[in-house]
């Protein structure tokens, strides 16, 4: 705000002018920062109750319990679909009193010191880990006993018959009786960088002494298990220095880069057990070698039992070749290790096992006939096919201009598939997931979740029921229990957002624009400050994450803890808007969950990042809304978004005036092969021109273009995106004599965006350089509760 000059200062016109320039920007009130702080995710989620239901299924495969937040803390609820009953597992006050008595301390029933438990003794008691102790609590009498020592923190995997647990120690596999007893070593040839169970731990796992859960999958008969074993020997390392101690500490990890000839080779073994006399000894170690050589290998299919055949003699694995050029499904003879490839797919760009990056793979073996339910984008859309064991298509199961997401359940007896799909229902957001059922022959396709919203589905292992949490940007989550035909058995929870509304929360506003081609419809979301004035002019800030593997425009109620949230959560978009900005998240060509052509848009050209669509979208919004100041445009993002935001201000310096980049992978020649080669292709060197096909997209090559303000931030212990990439951009900017800002964050890993200091420094930068005001000095943001 402009401050007036008074008194003798009016006598000197020069002094008045100088003083006016100094105060013209004004200082943003501390109250504005305090209001913005209210809308940080960890504060808003505390004001929402009943929004998250993640079922924990019991051994019968039908009943389940879940934890749900309430105004008075959290409840633990037990549901029996057969009897259509819902009851509390325990009384919070009585349990807290029993735990307090047992441990000679005081536990608050509103803040119970645990979020999960295990049923014991036929569900008459529960086991709880809390306060570095192990509690056994009888539920009828509310009587607890406590042990001073917890069981070994070495992660283990329990056999289906609950008698054994397999684990990895010093690179080798062991087995022991479940619940305690002597261990038996099953392998002896495991070594560093070629360990059983998993790959080499990341530096931050080592630094924080975090246990690593082994990739072990038991057979149904509990007499054998498959165990991952990745060969990382001779793979070049990325190096990290933690400098916060008096003697800096060195860490490293095997980390293959595009163009490397030696890369990790995934593999697995089948360990057979001799269980004679109640003992468990190693009987056979079968090393499995699948072909063609895998680049990424998944031990598991679309459902929990799809890895192993019903008779425990066969197992099924899917795997990708380098740069994700082809995908294969193999049948493995557990006794001999012999491999038979059942289905394959390939592409000039890349192939996937699902369009849902975190939704699992979408295939299933039909053992009764030897057929395979196979996911493919061969017709330009993500669909399901029924193929024989030689990979020949028997029939296409789904078809049309819409996408299959993931298989959730297969009823082999009825020959029906239950799966998520998007874009099939006319007039709805094409990104909303719904559940469908279809027969193996492609007939009988039917929508099971009719609500116009985004649906998150969890199927019971027994396959007779599923939970469905559905919401949209303007509808808080509702969770229901459904039968296989989609009928609602009962409503489990409905989120209460009244306390959020009391602090002035306003829903973001959806919009649709045209892409750079002037034809394709794109989706976006606009966030305004709660004290929005339509007669003012606001700078506009673009929160970008280019993917290509996920979207940034939220499809669920926002903010909430509900599953299915997009990357926009980490942008803290509403909090930023409170400081006097219009903030947008924008869909772009090159994102997932639509057609293959849409997704392939900028394959091989990382420098695109969808930015041309963002520019044309912002111009369309400015033409529609007089409150948007098209002369003050900022952009920010994290990880791939950090790469994109820097790319944007360097490639389009006359459009973007301010950019903030956190943890950006600015040069994907220094990023991991799994992501970089998938979307850019294999690195090809031009020895004549001394360049390669990745070089043109590297941000440091455009450093001389910088005109606006750029703020680079990176954690020095980021073991996902190495901080060297940000240092390289800084080096190029220095050589180009460009002014920029940089902050290296000591001992921070890749997840810097939720750090209160990083958020506050970002706010300050926007306020100072895009809003044109001075931020309150050293405002303290309170972080999330530990």
Q: Tell me which residue range forms the domain holding 61.
A: 56-147
Q: Which of 113, 147, 181 delimits the end of a domain? A: 147
Structure tokens at 301: 């299919």
**Domain assignment of residue 740, yes or no:** yes
Enter the pTM of the model.
0.93
Residue 222's SS3 state is coil
Which tokens in the block code for residue 586?
A: 């924008």
**Angle, helix 611-624 to helix 640-651, in steps of 10 degrees:** 70
Residue ranges of the chain whose pLDDT lies below 50: 1-24, 303-305, 562-568
Q: For the chain, how many structural domains are there in total?
A: 2
Closest CA to 289 of 253, 341, 240, 248: 341
> For residue 147, what pLDDT is reported?
84
pLDDT value of position 447: 98
Instruction: Count CB neighbours of 87 within 10 A.
Output: 9
pLDDT given for residue 747 in this prediction = 97
Res 560: pLDDT:
62
Query: Mind listing the pLDDT tens digit for each residue in 230-241?
Result: 999 999 999 999
CATH code of the domain covering residue 515: 3.40.50.1820
If one counts every other C-beta atom within 10 angstroms of the C-beta of residue 783, the result is: 13
Distance CA 272, CA 256 (A): 33
pLDDT of 298 reads 81
Here the contacts of 329-332 (C-beta below 8 Å, separation 24 or greater) are: 329/363, 329/365, 329/372, 329/374, 330/290, 331/365, 331/389, 332/270, 332/288, 332/290
Q: What's the rounded Cα separation, in Å, for the pair 759 and 220?
A: 49
Distance CA 233, CA 252 (A): 13
| N-term to C-term CA, the chain | 38
388 domain residue, yes or no: no
pLDDT for 152: 64
Residue with tokens 């990056």: 357
Is residue 273, in this structure, part of any structural domain at all? no
Asked whether residue 316 is domain-assigned, the answer is: no
Domain limit, last residue, from 114, 147, 180: 147
Single out the residue in 114, 132, 147 at which a domain terminates. 147
pLDDT for 295-338, tens place per residue? Answer: 999 886 554 446 899 999 999 999 999 999 999 999 999 999 99
Are 288 and 262 within 8 A, CB to CB?
no
Is residue 109 situated within a structural domain? Answer: yes
Q: What pLDDT does residue 589 have? A: 98
């Amino acid at each position: 705000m402009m401050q007036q000059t008074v008194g003798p200062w009016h006598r000197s016109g020069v002094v008045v002018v100088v003083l006016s320039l100094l105060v013209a920007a004004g200082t943003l009130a501390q109250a504005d920062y305090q209001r913005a702080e209210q809308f940080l995710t960890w504060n808003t989620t505390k004001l929402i109750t009943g929004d998250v239901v993640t079922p924990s299924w019991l051994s019968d495969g039908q009943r389940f319990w879940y934890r749900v937040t309430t105004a008075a803390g959290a409840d633990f609820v037990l549901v029996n679909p057969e009897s259509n009953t819902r009851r509390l597992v325990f009384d919070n006050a009585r349990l807290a009193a029993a735990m307090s008595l047992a441990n000679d301390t005081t536990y608050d029933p509103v803040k119970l010191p645990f979020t999960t438990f295990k049923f014991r003794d036929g569900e008459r008691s529960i086991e709880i880990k809390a306060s570095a102790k192990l509690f056994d609590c009888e539920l009828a009498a509310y009587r607890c006993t406590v042990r001073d020592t917890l069981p070994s923190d070495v992660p283990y995997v329990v056999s289906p018959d609950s008698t054994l647990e397999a684990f990895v120690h010093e690179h080798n596999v062991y087995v022991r009786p479940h619940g305690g007893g002597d261990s038996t070593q099953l392998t002896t040839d495991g070594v560093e960088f070629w360990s059983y169970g998993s790959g080499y731990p990341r530096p931050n796992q080592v630094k924080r002494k975090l246990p690593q859960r082994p990739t072990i999958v038991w057979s149904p008969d509990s007499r054998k298990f498959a165990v991952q074993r990745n060969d990382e020997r001779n793979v070049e390392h990325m190096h990290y220095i933690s400098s916060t101690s008096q003697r800096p500490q060195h860490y490293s990890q095997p980390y293959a880069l595009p163009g490397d000839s030696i890369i990790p080779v995934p593999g697995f073994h089948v360990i057979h057990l001799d269980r004679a006399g109640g003992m468990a000894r190693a009987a056979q170690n079968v090393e499995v070698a699948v072909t063609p050589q895998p680049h990424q290998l998944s031990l598991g299919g679309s459902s929990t039992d799809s890895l192993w055949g019903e008779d425990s003699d066969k197992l099924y694995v899917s795997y990708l070749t380098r740069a994700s050029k082809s995908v294969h499904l193999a049948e493995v003879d557990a006794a001999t290790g012999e491999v038979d490839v059942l289905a394959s797919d390939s592409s000039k760009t890349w192939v996937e096992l699902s369009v849902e990056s975190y939704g699992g793979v979408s295939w299933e073996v039909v053992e009764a006939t030897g057929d395979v339910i196979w996911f493919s984008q061969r017709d330009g859309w993500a669909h399901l096919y029924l193929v024989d064991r030689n990979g020949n298509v028997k029939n296409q199961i789904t078809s049309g201009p819409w996408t299959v997401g993931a298989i959730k359940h297969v009823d082999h007896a009825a020959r029906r598939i239950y799966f998520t799909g998007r874009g099939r229902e006319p007039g709805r957001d094409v990104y909303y997931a719904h559940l469908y059922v279809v027969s193996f022959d492609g007939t009988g396709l039917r929508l099971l979740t009719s609500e116009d919203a985004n649906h998150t589905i969890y199927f019971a292992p027994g396959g007779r029921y599923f939970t469905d949490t559905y919401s949209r940007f303007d509808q808080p989550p509702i969770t229901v229990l459904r039968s296989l035909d989609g009928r609602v058995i009962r409503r489990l929870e409905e989120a209460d957002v009244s306390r959020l509304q009391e602090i002035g929360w306003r829903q973001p506003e959806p919009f649709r624009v045209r892409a750079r081609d002037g034809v394709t419809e794109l989706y976006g979301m606009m966030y305004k400050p709660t004290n929005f004035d339509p007669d003012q002019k606001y700078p506009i800030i673009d929160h970008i994450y280019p993917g290509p593997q996920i979207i940034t425009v939220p499809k669920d109620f926002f903010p909430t803890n509900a599953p299915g949230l997009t990357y926009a959560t980490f942008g803290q978009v509403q909090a930023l808007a409170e400081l006097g900005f219009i903030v947008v998240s924008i869909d772009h060509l090159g994102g997932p969950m639509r057609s293959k052509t849409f997704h392939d848009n900028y394959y091989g050209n990382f420098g695109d990042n969808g930015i041309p669509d963002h520019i044309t979208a912002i111009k369309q919004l400015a033409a529609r809304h007089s409150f948007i100041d098209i002369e003050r445009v900022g952009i920010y993002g994290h990880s791939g978004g950090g790469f994109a935001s820097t790319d944007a201000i360097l490639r389009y310096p006359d459009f973007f005036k301010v950019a903030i980049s956190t943890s950006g992978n600015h040069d994907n020649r220094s990023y991991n092969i799994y992501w970089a080669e998938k979307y850019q292709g294999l690195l090809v060197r031009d020895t004549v021109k001394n360049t390669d096909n990745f070089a043109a997209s590297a941000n440091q090559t455009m450093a001389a273009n910088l005109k606006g303000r750029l703020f680079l931030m990176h954690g020095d212990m980021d073991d996902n995106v190495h901080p060297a990439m940000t240092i390289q951009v800084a080096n190029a900017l220095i050589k180009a004599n460009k002014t920029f800002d940089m902050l290296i964050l000591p001992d921070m890993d890749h997840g810097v965006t939720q750090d209160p200091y990083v958020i506050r420094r970002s706010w300050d930068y926007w306020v100072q350089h895009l809003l044109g005001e001075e931020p309150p000095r050293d405002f303290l943001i309170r972080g999330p509760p530990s």
